[in-house]
Structures are given as structure tokens and as C-alpha cells.
């Protein structure tokens, strides 16, 4: 019996066990323990005594605080409804109609991803603010407050919804549609009987994604919220303004609610979600229909124009001397005031994003590889899987705050990373872990399970198989993960707003400071710098994926009598 | 003492028993086919022999040495998987060198020489710079084989090496694998669910069903004297009928069709005829005994002028009858 266990252990191999323990330890230190500190904090009073639910009772008994819950739910609900509707129409247009310049629309939809959510709001100020371009044309809206937040969140969440629907609608089984048409089923009925069932889970999913994003966003309400309080800005005020850490922790836990709800719903629907696309599916041939195309073109065009206008507003703001009074060209706004972080903050952001992308990609890929391909260790792997889903539920504010509580504690031996680049990078890796993890797992699942067995029987160490087979075969996924980490780290505000130090400011935070101190033009200039680098990284990513795929394809070009 | 001894191997996944006290001895240099239906535990057995899976109980001896707890790398077994598992990002040569580089007592120089040698052996030398996806199914199969034998394994384990190929290529490769195996004299275990493959290639066949070994024997023994009704039915076709409480079995081609004047055991009305090329199958009902198939040479069938609904006379040579107790069926 003992030898059999020993054999099991020897099959696992020491390096594998060590690697798995390492990645799990990182996860526990960077996620589970900080979260624990946060939860504890919510149940303590200011002197550190156990307070039970006293903090929560106080919170809900104070109308000026608890009103934020309803405010946040309100703006999240409305912006999600709009986002889901238009995201669907936009994706439908690109996949199921014959509108022109689809490639252009596809890129246009992604514009908001490349700038911080603060900047969406900032651009809106340029358009609809007191001296805004649109306002100047005599079109006035109540921008600061509820409406402004809703529009900002719509812009912020639109790309995510669009991508979800695009993936869901991209592959259609042409046979079903042909069969329905040949039976003379009218188009409207086909839509409701075939298309809608195909995507109903995506609708639910998209709604929850949207709702959670809007519910937890900090950037837009910060700039454009005015006196309309939402939870994310409340946390910031409690912590940074009043140093009431316990109340900050209480509000943070409320921020988790939609994620918990979507988790529950996600569990319910994922179990029933089965793919209907088989290998025999034929590609859907889209019929001509000028009226339909015209309508959809109008929808796409208005959204694309909205996004482009936002970018244009940034350009105008950044490159004119004193908008709207002096519209002469200048580059002076690019020499930033040192007080708000200066150009230094931009370089810090670049460094942070590059480090996050490099370490994050390595971490995610090794993590996914260990869970998918290591032999034995079933219990540890189960724990790893459980943990991997956790970051999806955690908004940046919660991660940032729990990092303070955990790493800033005097008794923590890791206290020294507080206020350094390391803590920023770590928080980003954890914050954006889930999407890259799913990307890595699905890439690894496509590789033959027996690669590892073959190598093992040939006496090739696991490390070599990993480096020589798994990594090169997953290159497109690895590049995607790298790009995702980089772009998101460039635009993130919510987690790092608690973690940057005076000596180590980063660009997205600098934008918010510039905006606060009235240097709007400098804020716009900094936004442009972020936009440019993100678009460059994206283009670089697309070029390298094309290159890698071409090389892979070349290896399989002839594909003879197979 | 056999070269490889598998003793009392038992393996469970969750609650399902996949291998139940499996015993098997394999002599040096022989080719043993493990034959059984899908899901009966063949691959699992192979993985345990290879050291890629741990048995719940039982042991594996090699050359009389207990190697139950030896790691896969130390066992020096070559494996070809059902999916071939060729590394898609490496050429044929790269695939073979990948494992060779790791072999102790083999210098880099020797590895470079060894690779072309095995590639010539499997007749793939001119394809050595192609990538797996540029190869036909048969060539991929041979690449996987070359990779496995490059390390001069003590034992070769093949998991359904031919099941992904079409019939023509398959029968050609059967001969080739057999030839290479003979040339190298390497002990080989080959898993298959194709009875024809097992009958034509194996020195001995192990018939498995539902986690247990049903019979071990030469192809001839198994065909002529199947130990259990399952073995009888799984390999070749078998007629079963009830004879005074005793189950009797006979192969379709052993039944003789005789003239009415000769001595016969049964009369049968022809239900349908099936032309199969060299043979013609005659389906009919024996009174009280159920459906029966008789195979006769097509010439004889023509000479007899068989038609549907005709009555024929059958003789069952007693030496060809196999008897099972009723409980076994
Ligand atoms: N890792 C595993 N975990 C759980 N069950 C398994 C595992 N591997 C195999 N099984 C189960 O064990 C049984 C035997 O599997 P095995 O692969 O050995 O069958 P096989 O005889 O090789 O079948 P086939 O001819 O289809 O390849 C199957 O029912 C299978 O579902
Ligand atoms: Mg198998």
C-alpha cells in the first residue's frame, strides 16, 4: 500500500507538484488572503473590535449612504438594457446582413476598450459639457449625474456585449435556415424560432456582464457623476476622504452582489447550454435585402460615429490652444504638469503594463497548463479550478481595497511591496486573470492529451514538452493573453487607485487628477497617448497572430490524401 | 518465466471497475493482440503496463523483476497511441529526435544516425522533412511507429494503431507492422477491436470483455475452441442453438449441406441468400432452434441451385460442435 502511494507520488513528479503548489500559493496570497482581510474588516468597528452586522445596519440606516445602492442599480440596469440592445443589433448587422465596410465597423466597435473609462466621460464633457461642441450647437442635456453616467457606461460596456454577440452569431448553421426557408417560413418567424433560441443564453450572459461592469465602474462616475452617488465612488470617498476603512469594506462587499447573482444564473444556464454547430454545418448564405441592410447600416453608423466623435473630441481638446475659444494648433498640452504625475506617469504605466503582460501571461499559461495537463494531484487541481473563477467575481475596487488591508498591515512580511510596482502588477494580474485563463484553457484543450504521455514514456521531461510543444502550439492564445493584459493594464483605474504611491503615479490616475485640477486639455493629451500605444499593441498583436497562423498553416498546407 | 508478467491487475475509476484481476504472461519476441469491444479496458491495461497509470492492486514483472512502481521513463517501452500524438509543430525527423535526445548512453552523434535508420525501416526517409499534417494517415501512423521504435524499446505497445485508417491501407500496414516487429524481434502488445486484425497478426490473442480476460490463446485455438460464448461471438460468426438443455455452437462454414439421400441432422427452409463473393450465406430457421447461418462456397451454392423457400439438408460434424453449459450464455 505504501509503495503504491509512493508510486503515485513518483508519477506526479516533484517539479510538477512544486510548480502547482507555487501557482496556487501566488493565488492564495494575492487573492484569497486579501479578500479575507477585506471581509473581516467589514465586520469590525473602528477600534478593531468585532461589530457583527453593526456596520451594515448603520449603512442602511443612513439614507445618504444607502441611496447609492439604488442609484447604482438604476444606472446599471438602464445602461445594460441599451448596451444589450445595440450590441446585439450591431453584431447582427456584422454577421447576418450585407452592409458594406464591415471591417471598419468591427474595429470601430472596439474603440472604447483602448481608453480608460474616465476618458469616455471626459470625451462626453467635451461634447455635451457646458462648453461642449454639441452644446454649442444649441443641443443641451443634463450631462452631470444620472444621464452622463448612463451614457458613459453604455460606451464602456458596448464592446464587451458586441463581442459576446459577435461570437454567438458568427457561426450559423446554414442548413437550418435553408430548411426553414424551403418550407416557406416567413423571415420574422425564422428570426424568433431559430435565431433567438440560438442566442438566448448570450443575451442573459451579456446582460449580466454589462450590469456587473457598470455596477462596479469607478472612472465614469468619478468624472461625470456630479452629486449622483454610486457605490464605487462611495468606497473611494469613505477610504480616501474619510479614512473610514470599515465602511469602505462594507460598501465593497455590496459591490460583489451582481457578480454573485450572475454566478448563480451562469451556473443554471451553462448546464443547459449545448452547441448545435456540427462539423457538417454549412455556412449561412445571406440573402439580399436592401431595406434591412439600410436600417442596420444606420444603426451601426450612428454608433461608430458616436465613438469616432469621442475620439475626435479628444484630439480637438488635446491639440488646440484653449478650446473652445482659441482653436489654433498646439502641442503644449503634452508637456504635463509634474504635480499630476507628468509624463513620468505615462512611462510608469507602460512599464506596469509590460510587466503585467509578461508575468501575467506566464502565470496564466503555467496555471492553465498545470490544471489541464499535469498527472494526478486531483485535489489540488480541483482547488485550482475553484480559485480560477474567483477573479471574475471581483471588481477592481474590491481587489484594490483588499490589497491595502492585507499588504499594508504592519504584521505582513510582504509589507515591503506596498507602494511599489510589484503590488500594481500583482493586482492587475489577479484582476484580469479570468478571461486569459479561459483563453489558455481552451487553447490547451485542443492539444492531444497524449502528447504528455508520449513524452513521459520516452523519458522526455515535462518541462521540455511544455516548452517545445505546448507553448509553440498555443502561440496565438499566448499573444492574445499578452495583448489583453497589456491593454487592460493601460486603462485600469479601479484597482490601482488605492495602490499607486505619490512616487509612482500612473497615466490613468494622472488623467483623473488633471481633470480634477481643471487641466482638461492635458487629460485629453494623456488619453491620446494611451490610445495610441494600445492601438499599436493591438495592431502588433494582429500582425503577429497572422504571421504565426501562416507559419502553422504552411506546415499543414498540402494535407494530402488524409 | 515469461518476459512480461501481468499479475492480478485491478483498476477502478470512480466506482466503475475497468480492469478486474487481469492476468497475462507475454513471452519475449511475441506479438500479442488484446482484443475486445470498445470500453472494455484495453487502453487502460496498456497504460498501466507502460507506467502511465497506476493500478489499484496487482503487479507487473519484467524479466522477473518487479517494475510495478517503476516510472514510465525507466521502463523503456515504446508506445503508439490511438491518435498517434505526433507533435504537429515538428517535422517527421524532429518528432523522432525529440525523444532520442534524452536517451542515456546515446550520444548526439548516434541519435543523428539512429533517426535515418528507423525512418528507412518504416520507409519514410524521403518524407523526413514534412510536418505531420502533410502526411497521409498511413504515413502518420508509421511516423508514430518510428518514433516509438527509435529508442530501441524492450517492449512495443500499440493502441489500435490502424483503427483510423481505411481498409486498404489497413491491410497493407498489418503486414508491414508484422514485418518490422519480426525484424526487430521486439515484444509487442497490440490493442485492437478488429477481430480480423487480431487473427492475421497475432501470435496469441487475449480476448477481453467488461474488464476481464475471457480467453488467451493462439488465433487458431481461439477460433476453433472459443472458451466462452462471448469469445465465440466476438471472433468470427457463430451459430448457437439449444439441444436438450445444452447450448451448442457451430461456425457457419462448418455446417455441411448434403443431399437428401445422405445422412443429415436437420432439414431447413431457406429464408434468404446472401452472396459474399467466395462464399454464399444461407439464412434459415431450424424448427424449435432459432435462426441459423450456413456458409457454403459460392460454386456449391450454384451447383445446388438454391432458391428462397427451398428445403435443404444439413449435417453438423460432431467434431466441430462446441458445447457450453446453458448458464454461460
Ligand atoms: N481517466 C479516466 N477517468 C474515468 N474513467 C475512465 C478514464 N479512462 C478510462 N475510463 C473509463 O474506463 C473504461 C475503459 O476505458 P479504456 O479506454 O481502457 O477502454 P478501451 O477498451 O480502450 O476502449 P476503446 O476501444 O473505445 O478505446 C471506459 O468506460 C472509460 O470511460
Ligand atoms: Mg482505447
Contact B211, B217 (CB under 8 A): no
Q: Kindly state the average pLDDT of the residues B306-323.
A: 88
Compute the distance between CA of residue B51 and CA of residue A24 in angstroms, rounded to an integer.
28
For chain A, say whether B89 makes contact (Cβ under 8 Å). Answer: yes
Give, rounded to a whole angstrom, the gap between the first and last alpha carbons of chain A.
Answer: 48
| pLDDT over 50 (residue A562) | no
Structure confidence at residue A275 as a pLDDT band (50, 70, 90):
very low
Note the pLDDT of residue A129: 84
What is the CB < 6 Å shell around ligand 1?
B 13, 18, 36, 38-44, 193
CA A442 distance to own-chain centroid:
18
Contact B3, B50 (CB under 8 A): no
Compute the distance between CA of residue A119 and CA of residue A155 in angstroms, rounded to an integer.
11
CA–centroid distance, residue B42 to ligand 1 (Å): 8
Give the gyration radius of chain A's Cα atoms.
25
- Tens digit of each residue's pLDDT (9 = 90 or more) over A431-454: 999 999 999 999 999 999 899 999
- Are the Cβ atoms of B54 and A11 closer than 8 angstroms? yes
Q: Kindly state the average pLDDT of the residues B263-276.
A: 88
Task: Pick from B20, B39, B80, B160 the residue to mutate for probing ligand 1's pocket: most ligand atoms within 8 Å of its CB.
Answer: B39
Note the pLDDT of residue A283: 66
For chain A, say whether B165 makes contact (Cβ under 8 Å). Answer: no
| pLDDT over 70 (residue A279) | no
Residue B215 forms beta bridges with which residues? Answer: B207
Out of A457, A472, A561, the one facing B89 most closely (by C-beta) is A472
As given in the structure block, the three cell numbers for residue B327 are 448458464
The domains of chain A, with CATH numbers, are 13-32+354-504 (1.10.3720.10), 53-332 (1.10.3720.10)
- Are the Cβ atoms of B85 and A8 closer than 8 angstroms? no
For chain A, say whether B81 makes contact (Cβ under 8 Å). Answer: yes
Q: Kindly state the average pLDDT of the residues A321-349.
A: 87
Q: Which residue has 484597482 as its cell numbers?
A: A495
Percent pLDDT > 70 in chain B is 97
Report which ligand 1 atom has the smallest distance to the Cα of B191: 22
Helix, strand or coil, per DSSP, at residue B201: helix
Helix, strand or coil, per DSSP, at residue A103: helix
- Tens digit of each residue's pLDDT (9 = 90 or more) over A77-130: 999 999 999 999 999 999 989 999 999 999 999 999 999 999 999 999 888 888
> Greater confidence, B74 or A358?
A358
- Are the Cβ atoms of A457 and B79 closer than 8 angstroms? yes
Residue B78 forms beta bridges with which residues? Answer: B156
Domain ranges of chain B: 4-230, 240-324
| pLDDT over 80 (residue A560) | no
**DSSP H/E element including B8:** strand B4-13
Our CA dihedral for A256, A258, A264, A267, rounded to 10 degrees, sits at: -100
> Greater confidence, A323 or B282?
B282
| pLDDT over 80 (residue A527) | yes
Compute the distance between CA of residue B132 and CA of residue B130 in angstroms, rounded to an integer.
7
- Tens digit of each residue's pLDDT (9 = 90 or more) over A352-392: 999 999 999 999 999 999 999 887 778 888 999 888 888 88
- Are the Cβ atoms of A458 and B102 closer than 8 angstroms? yes
Helix, strand or coil, per DSSP, at residue B313: strand
Structure confidence at residue A1 as a pLDDT band (50, 70, 90):
low
B100: distance to nearest CA of chain A, Å? 8
Note the pLDDT of residue A226: 86
**Backbone torsions φ then ψ of A71, nearest 5 degrees:** -60, -50
The number of CA neighbours under 13 Å toward the Cβ of B229 is 14
Note the pLDDT of residue A559: 43
CA–centroid distance, residue A540 to ligand 2 (Å): 44
Percent pLDDT > 90 in chain A is 54
- Tens digit of each residue's pLDDT (9 = 90 or more) over A196-230: 887 888 898 899 989 999 999 999 999 899 889 99
B103 neighbourhood in chain A, CB within 8 Å = 459
Burial of A113 (0-12, 13-18, 19+ CB in 10 A): middle
Q: Which residues contact B121 (CB under 8 A, 6 or more apart)?
A: B146, B149, B180, B183
A487: distance to nearest CA of chain B, Å? 29
Contact B133, B170 (CB under 8 A): no
The Cα diameter of chain B in Å comes to 78
Query: If you average pLDDT over every residue of chain A, what do you get?
Result: 88
| pLDDT over 60 (residue A484) | yes
In SS3 terms, B269-282 reads as EEEEEEECCCEEEE
Note the pLDDT of residue A277: 45
A457 neighbourhood in chain B, CB within 8 Å = 50-52, 72-73, 75, 77-79
Burial of B174 (0-12, 13-18, 19+ CB in 10 A): middle
- Tens digit of each residue's pLDDT (9 = 90 or more) over B6-43: 999 999 998 899 999 999 999 999 999 999 999 899 99
> For the domain with range B4-230, which CATH number is right: 3.40.470.10, 3.40.50.300, 3.20.20.370, 2.40.50.140?
3.40.50.300
Out of B81, B133, B136, the one facing A450 most closely (by C-beta) is B81
Low-confidence winner among A397-406, A509-518, B167-176, B320-329 (lowest mean pLDDT): B320-329
Note the pLDDT of residue B156: 94
B143 neighbourhood in chain A, CB within 8 Å = none
In the CATH scheme, what is the code of domain B240-324? 2.40.50.100
Q: How far is CA B63 from CA A47, A132, A311, B148, in A?
A: 73, 88, 76, 21
Low-confidence winner among A290-294, A302-306, A511-515, B164-168 (lowest mean pLDDT): B164-168
> Greater confidence, A279 or A210?
A210
CB atoms near residue A141 (< 10 Å):
15
Compute the distance between CA of residue A547 and CA of residue A475 in angstroms, rounded to an integer.
11
- Are the Cβ atoms of B102 and A461 closer than 8 angstroms? yes
Note the pLDDT of residue A430: 95
Contact B58, B9 (CB under 8 A): yes
Q: Which residues contact B271 (CB under 8 A, 6 or more apart)?
A: B283, B284, B285, B291, B308
CA–centroid distance, residue B225 to ligand 2 (Å): 27
| pLDDT over 60 (residue A161) | yes
Q: Kindly state the average pLDDT of the residues B154-161.
A: 93
Note the pLDDT of residue A168: 87
Task: Compute the Cα dihedral for A537, A538, A544, A548 and give only its sign.
Answer: positive
User: pTM above the 0.80 mark?
Assistant: yes
| pLDDT over 90 (residue B92) | yes
B154 neighbourhood in chain A, CB within 8 Å = none
Contact B314, B267 (CB under 8 A): yes
> Greater confidence, A142 or A561?
A142
- Tens digit of each residue's pLDDT (9 = 90 or more) over B229-251: 899 988 888 998 887 778 888 99
As given in the structure block, the three cell numbers for residue A219 are 472612472
CA–centroid distance, residue A368 to ligand 1 (Å): 24
Residue list, CB under 5 A from ion ligand 2:
B 43
Instruction: Indicate the pairing of strand B155-159 with strand B246-250.
Output: unpaired
Which ligand is in closest contact with the Cα of B45? 1
Burial of A331 (0-12, 13-18, 19+ CB in 10 A): exposed
Compute the distance between CA of residue A238 and CA of residue A235 in angstroms, rounded to an integer.
5
Amino acid at each position: 500500500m505504501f509503495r503504491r502511494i509512493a508510486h503515485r507520488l513518483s508519477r506526479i513528479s516533484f517539479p510538477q507538484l512544486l510548480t502547482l503548489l507555487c501557482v496556487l500559493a501566488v493565488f492564495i496570497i494575492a487573492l484569497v488572503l486579501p479578500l479575507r482581510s477585506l471581509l473581516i474588516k467589514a465586520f469590525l468597528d473602528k477600534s478593531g473590535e468585532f461589530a457583527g452586522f453593526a456596520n451594515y445596519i448603520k449603512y442602511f440606516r443612513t439614507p445618504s449612504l444607502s441611496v447609492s445602492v439604488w442609484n447604482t442599480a438604476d444606472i446599471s440596469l438602464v445602461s445594460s438594457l441599451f448596451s444589450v440592445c445595440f450590441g446585439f443589433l450591431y453584431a447582427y448587422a456584422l454577421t447576418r446582413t450585407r452592409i458594406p465596410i464591415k471591417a471598419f465597423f468591427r474595429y470601430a466597435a472596439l474603440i472604447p476598450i483602448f481608453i480608460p473609462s474616465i476618458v469616455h466621460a471626459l470625451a462626453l464633457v467635451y461634447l455635451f459639457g457646458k462648453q461642449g461642441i454639441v452644446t454649442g450647437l444649441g443641443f443641451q442635456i443634463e450631462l452631470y449625474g444620472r444621464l452622463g453616467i448612463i451614457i458613459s457606461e453604455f460606451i464602456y460596456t458596448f464592446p464587451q456585449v458586441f463581442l459576446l454577440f459577435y461570437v454567438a452569431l458568427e457561426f450559423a448553421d446554414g442548413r437550418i435556415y435553408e430548411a426553414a426557408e424551403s418550407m416557406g417560413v416567413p423571415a420574422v418567424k425564422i428570426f424568433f424560432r431559430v435565431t433567438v433560441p440560438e442566442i438566448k443564453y448570450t443575451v442573459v450572459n451579456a446582460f449580466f456582464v454589462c450590469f456587473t461592469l457598470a455596477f462596479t465602474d469607478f472612472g465614469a462616475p468619478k468624472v461625470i457623476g456630479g452629486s449622483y452617488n454610486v457605490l464605487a465612488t462611495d468606497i473611494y470617498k469613505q477610504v480616501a476622504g474619510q479614512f473610514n476603512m470599515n465602511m469602505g469594506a462594507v460598501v465593497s462587499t455590496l459591490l460583489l452582489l451582481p457578480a454573485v447573482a450572475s454566478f448563480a444564473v451562469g451556473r443554471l444556464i451553462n448546464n443547459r447550454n449545448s452547441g448545435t454547430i456540427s462539423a457538417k454545418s454549412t455556412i449561412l448564405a445571406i440573402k439580399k435585402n436592401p431595406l434591412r441592410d439600410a436600417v442596420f447600416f444606420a444603426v451601426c453608423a450612428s454608433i461608430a460615429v458616436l465613438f469616432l466623435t469621442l475620439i475626435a473630441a479628444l484630439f480637438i481638446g488635446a491639440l488646440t490652444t484653449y478650446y473652445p475659444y482659441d482653436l489654433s494648433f498646439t502641442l503644449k498640452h503634452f508637456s504635463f504638469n509634474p504635480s499630476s504625475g507628468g509624463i513620468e506617469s505615462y512611462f510608469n504605466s507602460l512599464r506596469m503594463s509590460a510587466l503585467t503582460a509578461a508575468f501575467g501571461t506566464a502565470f496564466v499559461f503555467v496555471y492553465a497548463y498545470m490544471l489541464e495537463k499535469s498527472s494526478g494531484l486531483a485535489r489540488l487541481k480541483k482547488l485550482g479550478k475553484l480559485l480560477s473563477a474567483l477573479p471574475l467575481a471581483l471588481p477592481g475596487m474590491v481587489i484594490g481595497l483588499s490589497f491595502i488591508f492585507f499588504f499594508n498591515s504592519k504584521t505582513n512580511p510582504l509589507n515591503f511591496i506596498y507602494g511599489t510596482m510589484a503590488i500594481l502588477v500583482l493586482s492587475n494580474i489577479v484582476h484580469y486573470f479570468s478571461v486569459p485563463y479561459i483563453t489558455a484553457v481552451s487553447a490547451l484543450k485542443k492539444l492531444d492529451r497524449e502528447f504528455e504521455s508520449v513524452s513521459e514514456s520516452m523519458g522526455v521531461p515535462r518541462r521540455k514538452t511544455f516548452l517545445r510543444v505546448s507553448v509553440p502550439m498555443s502561440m496565438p492564445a499566448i499573444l492574445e493573453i499578452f495583448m489583453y493584459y497589456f491593454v487592460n493594464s493601460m486603462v485600469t483605474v479601479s484597482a490601482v487607485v488605492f495602490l499607486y504611491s505619490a512616487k509612482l503615479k500612473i497615466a490613468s490616475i494622472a488623467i483623473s487628477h488633471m481633470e480634477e485640477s481643471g487641466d482638461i486639455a492635458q487629460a485629453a493629451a494623456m488619453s491620446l497617448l494611451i490610445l495610441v500605444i494600445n492601438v499599436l499593441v493591438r495592431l502588433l498583436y494582429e500582425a503577429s497572430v497572422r504571421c504565426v497562423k501562416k507559419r502553422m498553416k504552411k506546415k499543414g498546407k498540402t494535407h494530402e490524401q488524409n | 518465466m515469461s518476459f512480461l508478467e501481468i499479475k492480478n491487475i485491478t483498476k477502478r475509476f470512480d466506482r466503475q471497475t475497468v480492469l478486474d484481476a487481469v492476468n497475462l504472461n507475454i513471452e519475449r519476441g511475441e506479438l500479442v493482440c488484446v482484443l475486445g469491444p470498445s470500453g472494455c479496458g484495453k487502453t487502460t491495461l496498456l497504460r498501466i503496463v507502460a507506467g502511465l497509470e497506476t493500478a489499484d492492486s496487482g503487479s507487473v514483472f519484467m524479466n522477473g523483476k518487479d517494475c510495478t512502481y517503476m516510472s514510465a521513463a525507466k521502463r523503456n517501452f515504446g508506445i503508439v497511441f490511438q491518435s498517434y500524438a505526433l507533435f504537429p509543430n515538428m517535422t517527421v525527423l524532429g518528432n523522432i529526435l525529440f525523444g532520442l535526445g534524452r536517451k542515456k548512453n546515446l550520444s548526439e552523434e548516434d541519435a543523428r544516425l539512429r533517426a535515418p535508420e528507423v525512418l528507412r525501416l518504416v520507409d519514410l526517409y524521403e518524407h523526413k522533412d514534412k510536418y505531420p499534417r502533410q502526411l497521409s494517415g498511413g504515413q502518420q501512423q508509421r511516423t508514430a511507429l518510428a518514433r516509438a521504435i527509435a529508442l530501441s524499446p524492450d517492449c512495443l505497445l500499440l493502441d489500435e494503431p490502424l483503427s483510423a485508417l481505411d481498409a486498404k491501407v489497413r491491410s497493407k500496414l498489418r503486414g508491414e507492422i508484422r514485418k518490422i516487429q519480426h525484424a526487430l524481434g521486439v515484444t509487442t502488445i497490440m490493442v485492437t477491436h478488429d477481430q480480423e486484425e487480431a487473427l492475421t497478426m497475432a501470435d496469441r490473442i487475449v480476448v477481453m470483455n467488461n474488464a476481464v480476460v475471457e480467453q488467451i490463446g493462439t488465433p487458431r485455438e481461439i477460433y476453433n475452441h472459443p472458451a466462452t460464448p462471448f469469445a465465440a461471438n466476438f471472433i468470427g460468426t457463430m451459430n448457437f442453438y439449444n439441444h436438450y438443455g445444452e447450448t451448442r455452437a457451430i461456425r457457419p462454414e462448418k455446417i455441411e449441406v448434403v443431399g437428401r439421400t445422405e445422412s443429415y441432422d436437420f432439414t431447413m427452409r431457406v429464408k434468404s441468400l446472401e452472396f459474399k463473393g467466395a462464399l454464399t450465406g444461407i439464412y434459415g430457421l431450424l424448427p424449435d432452434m432459432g435462426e441459423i447461418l450456413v456458409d457454403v462456397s459460392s460454386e456449391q451454392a450454384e451447383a445446388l441451385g438454391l432458391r428462397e423457400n427451398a428445403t435443404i439438408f444439413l449435417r453438423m460434424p460432431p467434431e466441430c460442435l462446441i458445447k457450453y453449459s446453458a448458464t454461460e450464455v
